[in-house]
Structure 1
């Protein structure tokens, strides 16, 4: 993977997944407040995102789809990351370091009943709900390197799906629940690639030789992802079989972290095009770019 100048961007690695952000390798802020990791609610009624605008703590915020009414959703003295709202909208899975290491928690969207699902003592990251809301895919380094796992929504029956050299991370389900797309790299000196596998971990297929952070569109037709194969991180889409890759952002800035609306017509993403890392919204064809946060 091509690394950009360290004075501009330092990718942050949380064992097996990349967060393109203005953080150094120790997770410390290098620039003013950064907003990242946008996620739609299951019905598109609100957006969750992560920000360190409050005294540098990375917390989870909530805002309306037009960027108004931004407020803290999940906060604490530790790091809160990577929210994922359940398909029925009643619960949110997220990553927190409140127990000393990165674990996946679950709580009701009203803020009640937080519970540690993974309890592995390792780094468990990137929770993604299955379309039926019964399972959660995630990546973990509990067996030495980052691999893809799946568990029941209550944290039971945690099962390893991948067993490959290097790192596997950033899982996302196909809308029918039959497949999981994920990022993989053979070593830290190799680029991230995109693979698809059956939901039981079998039959991995290479989709793209360069790419990370894949997100399957709800209509099943496209996969959005990050790629720097043209020299700069941009948001791309491709057909679900890996063909017809299209650069949507085409900007000199760093654009990353795409996330689909439920009707597959819009994409949230993160960009530093206005000299700070903020959340943006665009149509699925890359038109009508709107800035949602400006902190």
Structure 2
């Protein structure tokens, strides 16, 4: 008999849809209808064990004028709107695994520092920034209780960990080389990938949360950056210049255990900042293949590339549940 649903008009601005005891709310416009339909479809898929992208968000850096702010949009590029409003440079966003918080680097107070906001209210949350010339590239642990980041507290950019409010600071790396972009394995909170120049040009390394067992994952060819863990905790996507002119980045996937790599983009501009979708079947990334830096998505095999943004300059996307 199909899927029974009761639709009621609550007032001039709200609608209600009820199915199986669950209530879906939306505004009486196209956006509200889309929201209800997406949530409804997502719940149907979840009943069959599938992960839906419906309702997932992409946060990214957008320059539409003289400043760079954090923007947000739906997974399909719809409903693009600003999130931050610092009227400065805000960059390098990272979203907590449960989708409740976002951390990013902002220059609003002069030196680059870390800002943490609630994604439910939009309000800034407390985070103590160290007295350093740079605190940047924040990343949440899988439980969302800690943030890893790079800081020049010791004089050169190193990897640190702190509680989600900035307390309990602990230094993780200790070398005379710039180290940034720490990312914690979603399946193993003791394992980190990061970017380091300890062997020369920047490469991607792996180490334990205590700084031990450092292993270089990339070969040392070219430059490697922007590591992003697959939800399975066994693969990473990253940007690499291997085999190309300096500055010409492409997206690769690596099996971390075997270090085998697969190249996904080929000779179509500068492609970087990959981030996995919640279902692990898609990637969002930035590319200048259309003439300016824009946000794109593709399947995990590199096919079906779709451009999501076109206004301004857009980069550094992160896909959130």
2:104 aligned with 1:91, yes or no? no
What is the alpha-carbon distance in structure 2 between the residues aligned to residue 215 and residue 44 of structure 1?
A: 21
Alignment gaps of 5+ in structure 1: 1-41
What is the alpha-carbon distance in structure 1 between the residues aligned to residue 133 and residue 309 of structure 2?
A: 33
* CA-based RMSD: 1.7
Within a 5 Å distance, the mapping from 1:135-146 to structure 2 comes to 135-146=146-157
Deviation of the 1:102 alpha carbon: 0.8
Question: Which residue is equivalent to 1:150?
Answer: 161
Structure number, greater radius of gyration: 2
Question: Which residue is equivalent to 2:270?
Answer: 254
Alignment match of 1:179 (pick from 174, 191, 203): 191
Q: TM-score, normalised by structure 2?
A: 0.75
Per-residue CA deviations over 1:51-109 (Å, capped at 9, x if unaligned) read 111x2200010111111111111112221112222222222111112221111111211
Does the C-alpha gap of structure 1 residues 242 and 101 become closer, same or farther in structure 2, counting only changes over 3 Å? farther
Deviation of the 1:43 alpha carbon: 8.8
Question: Which residue is equivalent to 1:34?
Answer: none
Within a 5 Å distance, the mapping from 1:253-292 to structure 2 comes to 253-292=269-308
What is the alpha-carbon distance in structure 2 between the residues aligned to residue 184 and residue 136 of structure 1?
A: 18
Secondary structure of the corresponding residue to residue 178 of structure 1: strand
Deviation of the 1:120 alpha carbon: 2.3
Number of residue pairs the alignment of both structures matches: 251
Paired residues of 2:69 and 2:87 also in contact (CA < 8 A): no
What is the alpha-carbon distance in structure 2 between the residues aligned to residue 118 and residue 178 of structure 1?
A: 24
Within a 5 Å distance, the mapping from 1:222-237 to structure 2 comes to 222-231=235-244, 232-237=248-253
Alignment gaps of 5+ in structure 2: 1-52, 312-321
- Runs of 4+ deviating beyond 2 Å: 113-117, 119-122
Question: Which residue is equivalent to 1:221?
Answer: 234
Deviation of the 1:116 alpha carbon: 3.8
Within a 5 Å distance, the mapping from 1:31-110 to structure 2 comes to 45-53=56-64, 55-109=65-119, 110=121
What is the alpha-carbon distance in structure 2 between the residues aligned to residue 66 and residue 51 of structure 1?
A: 17
Question: Which residue is equivalent to 1:195?
Answer: 205
Per-residue CA deviations over 1:167-196 (Å, capped at 9, x if unaligned) read 111111111212000111138xx3211110
Question: Which residue is equivalent to 1:238?
Answer: 254
2:144 aligned with 1:112, yes or no? no
Which structure has the highest helix share of the two? 2
Paired residues of 1:236 and 1:245 also in contact (CA < 8 A): yes
Paired residues of 2:204 and 2:227 also in contact (CA < 8 A): yes
Deviation of the 1:244 alpha carbon: 1.4
Per-residue CA deviations over 1:132-188 (Å, capped at 9, x if unaligned) read 11111111112111111111111111111001121111111111212000111138x
